[in-house]
Amino acid sequence: MLARALALNVLLLSTALFWCLPVLAHPHVWVSASASFKFNQSELLRIGLRWQFDPFFSQVLITDFDESGDGSLDDKETAAMKQQIFTSLQEFDYFTHVNASGQKVQFDRVENFFTETNDGELVFVFDLVIAEPIDVSVTPVNVSLYDPSIYVDIMFLGDTPVNVLGTGGANCSWKFTDGAEVQSESWFLTPQQIHLTCGGP
């Protein structure tokens, strides 16, 4: 189907577009995001993410996977979308770039994936489980959401773009900073970054 082909082009092949002509190096899909950092004591265990897609791309995906035609996605339809669209983003770390002391943080798995709609826009909600928990009281963490091809634009937006949850989270604070520049020969991207620290009384 045409809609599915478009969705796959955007979400499965966007990183390949990193090397395309400069005219393609601008967003075609927009995502409003929020993040929840989930702690046990001072250890960061997982990052919960919420992605809300722009109206056009939401309509593309809902139309293609909503087999019942009720304007929403049931469990079966969500499972199909996860398998055909979302799971393939594992190769790109789900556009989620985390580092601690300059070292890339690896994810072990995705949990609690589901979809919903908000004002007619499709939302992905999921947890990224960190392979080795990070003691943020010792090692601050930086988190950026970006597609290096700039085909998908992801920004932390809304009244509460960041939450810190769990025991130990009360001693943590965060701020937005500029992330490390990502560039090619023809363009560059300075991603929005969350700088997370924990400690103090």
Give the domain ranges of the chain: 2-18+25-198
Q: Does domain 2-18+25-198 have CATH number 2.70.170?
A: yes
pTM: 0.85
| Helix (H) or strand (E) run with residue 79 in it | helix 75-81
pLDDT in tens, 118-161: 998 999 999 999 999 999 999 999 999 998 888 889 999 999 99
| CA nearest neighbour of 18 among 193, 186, 192, 198 | 186
Q: What is the pLDDT of residue 57?
A: 94
pLDDT for residue 148:
83
CB 54 within 8 A of CB 29: yes
Contact 143, 193 (CB under 8 A): yes
